[in-house]
Chain A
Amino acid sequence: MTGPAASAAVDALQAALAAENAAIFGYGVAGAFMTGSQRGTATVFWDEHKSARDTLASMLRGRGARPGAADAAYKMPFTVHDRHQAVALAAYLEDGVTAAYLGVVGATSQATLRRFGAGAMQRPAVRAAYWRGSAEAFPGLPAARKSR
């Protein structure tokens, strides 16, 4: 695969990598306000994001692209000062990662890459459902389309 199709796939993989990097940063913040088994779960999820990041970086290198670097810090979407807000942050991070993988599905018609994106987005959707205690009907799709 070369040309614009390959470049769209690389862009989508870079976006997924950027989302994973942001989630890794965010879990560092969220985990700091959690205790006990909740913190244990956050640590497990954090590790899953790190391993997903490594997978994406190696996929990008395999396509001759240089994996984008993580930013030093990210602006919090809302104030995080307690356990409750930390859980909301974790769910927010997972939503962002879910949407990024959905972008991979839409950016390519290559079967392997599509399956990768669709399979990969199930993990953050499951983690978001864990934090919320409920599932979304259409994870990763924009809210405007959800309410239609």
Chain B
Amino acid sequence: MTHPAGTTRRRVLGASVLAAAAALGASGCDPRAWPWATPPRPAPDVAVLHDVMAAEDALIAKYTAVIAAFPSLRGRMSPLLAQHREHLARLRAQLVIPPGASPSESAAATARSRVPRPRVPASQAGAVSYLRAAERGQAAALVRRLVSAPPSLAQLLASIGACEASHAALLGSAGDPR
């Protein structure tokens, strides 16, 4: 059994919607952009994440440059460098990627472009203190940066800061923790 009346109503409705859409397209008045055409504005914690990722990238660049300049430090520095790579991976995993963006590439590119070329001191002892100072600086910076982050991100940043404080101590003279 068919419902000619219903079918007709649907057809009429469909036709009028199409007509309205066509009229809108032709009328020259500004049609709305698709809502997903502009990615959502980054939340404040995305800005924090990008900053911290850039700082981790800078630390990685410093370790890499020091190891290149003093290959005998490789054994001592590699575990610390590996932990910074873990930090970076975990931070990147926190990013909520807007649709259409190419996440890892753009984030990494932004971070990398901001990393200044490391200036490694001429002596090996100087290079170690250079890394130690960088770790200390980043450990202190993270304590300030986590203030505005949501709780779970604040904890991640605090944990990374504690790791970096440990690195600074391990890079200290003769394993003295103070």
Q: Which 3 A-B pairs have the closest CB atoms?
A: A125-B162, A129-B166, A122-B165
User: Are the CB atoms of B177 and A106 closer together than 8 Å?
Assistant: no
B90 interface neighbour in A111, A118, A129, A138, Cβ under 8 Å:
A138
A17 interfacial contact with B, CB 8 Å: no
**Could you tell me the distance between the alpha carbons of A111 and B158 in the complex, rounded to whole angstroms?**
13
**Given contacts A118-B161, A134-B79, is CB(A105)–CB(B154) below 8 Å?**
yes
B49 interfacial contact with A, CB 8 Å: no
**Could you tell me the distance between the alpha carbons of A146 and B77 in the complex, rounded to whole angstroms?**
21
Interface residues of A in 95-134 (CB under 8 A from B): 98, 101-102, 105-107, 109, 111, 114-115, 117-119, 121-122, 125-130, 133-134
**Given contacts A130-B177, A137-B86, is CB(A105)–CB(B169) below 8 Å?**
no
User: Are the CB atoms of A138 and B159 closer together than 8 Å?
Assistant: yes
**Could you tell me the distance between the alpha carbons of A43 and B132 in the complex, rounded to whole angstroms?**
26
State the interface size on chain B (CB cutoff 8 A): 33
A-side contacts of B160, CB under 8 Å: 138
User: Are the CB atoms of B86 and A98 closer together than 8 Å?
Assistant: no
**Given contacts A118-B143, A122-B165, is CB(A105)–CB(B158) below 8 Å?**
yes
User: Are the CB atoms of A122 and B161 closer together than 8 Å?
Assistant: yes
State the interface size on chain A (CB cutoff 8 A): 33
Interface residues of B in 162-178 (CB under 8 A from A): 162-163, 165-170, 175, 177-178
> Could you say which of B4-12, B107-115, B144-152 contacts chain A?
B144-152
Count chain B CB atoms within 10 A of each CB in A102, A107, A139 and give the residue with the most: A139
Main secondary structure of the interface of A (DSSP, over half): helix
Count chain A CB atoms within 10 A of each CB in B157, B160, B177 and give the residue with the most: B177
B-side contacts of A118, CB under 8 Å: 142-143, 146, 154, 157-158, 161-162
30 inter-chain pairs at a CB distance below 8 angstroms, sorted by A residue, are A102-B155, A106-B154, A109-B151, A111-B147, A114-B146, A115-B147, A117-B158, A118-B142, A118-B146, A118-B157, A119-B143, A121-B158, A121-B162, A122-B139, A122-B161, A122-B162, A126-B165, A126-B168, A126-B169, A126-B177, A129-B177, A134-B170, A135-B83, A135-B163, A135-B166, A136-B163, A138-B90, A139-B159, A139-B166, A141-B156
